Chains A and B, each alone.
Chain A
Amino acid sequence: MSEQIPELPLSQLRSMLSTMYLIRAFEEKVDELFMRGEMHGTTHLSIGQEGTAVGAVSTLRSDDFITSTHRGHGHCITKGADISLMMAELLGKETGYCRGRGGSMHIADVENGNLGANGIVAGGMPIATGVGLSLKMQGTDRVCLCIFGDGAANEGAFHESINMAAIWDLPVIFLCENNQYGMSMSTRRAMRNETVAQRAAGYGIPGELVDGNNVLAVYAAISAAVQRARDGHGPSLIESRTYRYKGHAKSDQNLYRSRDEIREWQQRDPIQYFVNYLISEQVVSQEEVKKEETAAYAAVEEAYQFGLGSPDPDPETLLEGVYL
């Protein structure tokens, strides 16, 4: 498993930490709002997976694209989304990213290059390949980071998309955010291979397994793949091994895994791991860490208030937005 540590400016390290806290705070608030019945429908929380979201997406430029998953809040935040507009979307408000039409599973921030979370497992993969084709045909050095889960690795779209990107050397980075369970089905039960990364060999592209709870290791692996894509050498498949603390969705009773397993992973928490590293390297002090954490929760509270104060969509606008 790759654990290379990249050389990054201190400001960037701090910003990565604050983004990780922001994701955690956002997800905890969403969890709370669902519990309290202030949000409806369903949502998929990425608590425990912040290392992968921040490590991967922060390698990108603002003009690069991502396609995301149903568990995509962290990707969206890291790509530069405004959490107020995200919170408004989850609350079904007109001010939300999708004017309340999409909700958690379809948040997109097209201006920032986020082509959306996706309610269909592997649904974003062929689209990412198409974005890669487009970027290549336009002669740019922009790239598309295609994020999908371990469940998607067993969909047919995985095969078709990676193969097509591979034969055409498209600038796509396929990132399998392996949180070890497709809903209740563990990867051990769902595939014979030890890793998703080794499937890269089947497409003639590089594959690498990385510790998804080590934000810097993820950063190193993805930035190498991004550079390869920018240089015109085609796609890579990176598997980032991580873990979700919360259930798949609110119906989940965690019958398929043990408390011990969850606790064990919480011992390897990506935020705590990064904090320990930054303190040991004297990048930040304990007080500064506390400040970042507090600021994140305050920002989320402010976003929530913005959402609460926003208007609901006007029912008269129901039919808008299907066709241009």
Chain B
Amino acid sequence: MTISHQQSLTGTVGEATELPLQQMTYAAAIRQVLQEEMRKDPRIFLMGEDIGLYGGAFGVTRGMLEEFGEERVRDTPISEQAIAGCAIGAALSGMLPVAEFQFSDFMTLAMDQIVNQGAKLRFMFGGKAKVPVVFRAPIGSGLGFAAQHSQSLEAWFAHIPGLKVVLPSTPADASGLLRSAIHDPNVVIFLEHKALYNQQGMVPVGDWRVPLGKAEVKHKGKHLTIIALSIMVHRALTVADRLAKEGIEAEVIDPRSLRPLDEETLVDSVSNTGRVLIVQEAVLTGGFGGEIAARIAASKAFYYLDAPIMRLGGAEIPIPYQIQLEKRATPQEEDIYQAAQLLLRQKPA
């Protein structure tokens, strides 16, 4: 069934569900999952900088201290390496920690623990340990936080076997993916776009889970495929609505998980449309869109391509502060629309 952008905001979620729906923001959807799961399982606890009384830099954990207390909504010193390692150690010894990094940029301070420890312990120990941790962190630009608070580093994490990496784009996905992440026995990097926290959407109420590693077709179409990550899904959907008015049906796919990646859904779509535009906020060099492009090029979809694979991503600069420069640094709706038009004009040789 075709879900238009407007529908997904006002009445339905993409996936079929019998659960009742409730409208809420992306931040509230995350908070609700944390609350519900913590009520059910005393092993789950939160740790991070200013997540208690302050409620987190983006208010995601607001009000949770009152219900769960300081032990389970645990304010930490500004010690990212210890936050990461502490969560890993707690997970190794029987707890289910959900650790928050205030900004995903700060995860660079914890890379040893995430990459060398958390991701590898299970494998290095011959499969005899498990590390059920969720690391939540806000990514992305658009709020004027400048170069050290606005990056999209998902490709760094997706490069590491042992980490799972998810990027929800809607409140329903944030909810369903987070519940799956908490119950996943592996390290899950859960990247929330900070410009989406106030985004409204319908969220299934109850034990709503979106499996890790399952893409979603957010908009059906047959003329081109737009594969978009995180906030770019919304921009791509707006572009799809605009193209629809011109009689062009764009298929918009949100991979949602980068690792594991639902290659099949991407390849099937491109095999149908013959044209693909990959849109990410991160800079193109070494970005995850390159991986998606390579997978498509190496798949059966190659034989159906009517145009070269096109990628759209951030400019090769740190994110600037000034508002116009900041916008120019990452793909906007107009950029995606123009890229789609260019892609549609390309003719097979």
Chain A positions within 8 Å of B, measured between CB atoms, are 65, 67, 96-102, 106, 108, 110-111, 115-116, 118-120, 123, 125-135, 137-138, 144, 156-157, 160-161, 163-164, 167, 320-324
Contact = CB atoms under 8 A, between A and B. Distances in A.
B123 interface: yes
B126 A160 contact: no
Which residue, A96, A100, A127, has most C-beta atoms of chain B within 10 A? A127
Contacts of B90: 130-131, 133-134, 137
Contact of B45 (A96, A123, A137): A137
A123 B95 CA distance: 20
B124 A322 contact: no
Contacts of A126: 81-82, 84-86, 88-89, 113, 117
A157 B94 contact: no
Contacts of B112: 120, 123, 157
B113 to A, nearest CB: 6
A66 to B, nearest CB: 12
Contacts of B127: 99, 320-321, 324
Question: Interface range on chain B: under 10, 10 to 19, 20 to 34, or 35 or more?
Answer: 35 or more
A266 B212 CA distance: 57
Contact of B89 (A96, A97, A110, A134): A134
Given A126-B84, A126-B113, A127-B85, A134 B79 contact: no
B86 A321 contact: no
Interface in B63-91: 71, 76-77, 79, 81-82, 84-91
Contact of A137 (B71, B76, B92): B71
A11 to B, nearest CB: 30
A102 B130 CA distance: 15
A324 B186 contact: yes
A110 B82 contact: no
Given A126-B82, A157-B112, A101 B77 contact: no
The 7 tightest CB contacts between A and B, nearest first, are A126-B85, A130-B89, A99-B126, A321-B127, A160-B82, A98-B126, A130-B86
B86 A106 contact: no
B93 interface: yes
Contacts of A115: 89, 92-93, 129
B129 A129 contact: no
Contacts of A322: 122-123, 161-162
Given A97-B126, A127-B88, A164-B82, 17 more contacts: A96-B126, A99-B126, A101-B124, A106-B124, A123-B117, A126-B81, A127-B86, A127-B89, A128-B89, A130-B86, A130-B87, A134-B93, A134-B94, A134-B95, A144-B89, A160-B77, A323-B162
Which residue, B85, B95, B121, B164, has most C-beta atoms of chain A within 10 A? B85
Contacts of B86: 126-127, 129-130, 133, 161, 164
Given A97-B126, A160-B79, A321-B123, A127 B71 contact: no
Given A126-B113, A137-B95, A321 B85 contact: no
Interface in B221-261: none
Interface in B119-142: 121-130
B185 interface: yes
Contacts of B116: 119-120, 123
Nearest to B187: A323
Contacts of B95: 133-134, 137-138
B120 to A, nearest CB: 8
B166 to A, nearest CB: 14
B85 A108 contact: no
19 contacts: A67-B89, A99-B126, A102-B124, A110-B128, A120-B117, A123-B113, A127-B117, A129-B89, A131-B89, A137-B90, A144-B89, A156-B81, A157-B82, A160-B85, A161-B81, A163-B79, A164-B79, A320-B127, A321-B123
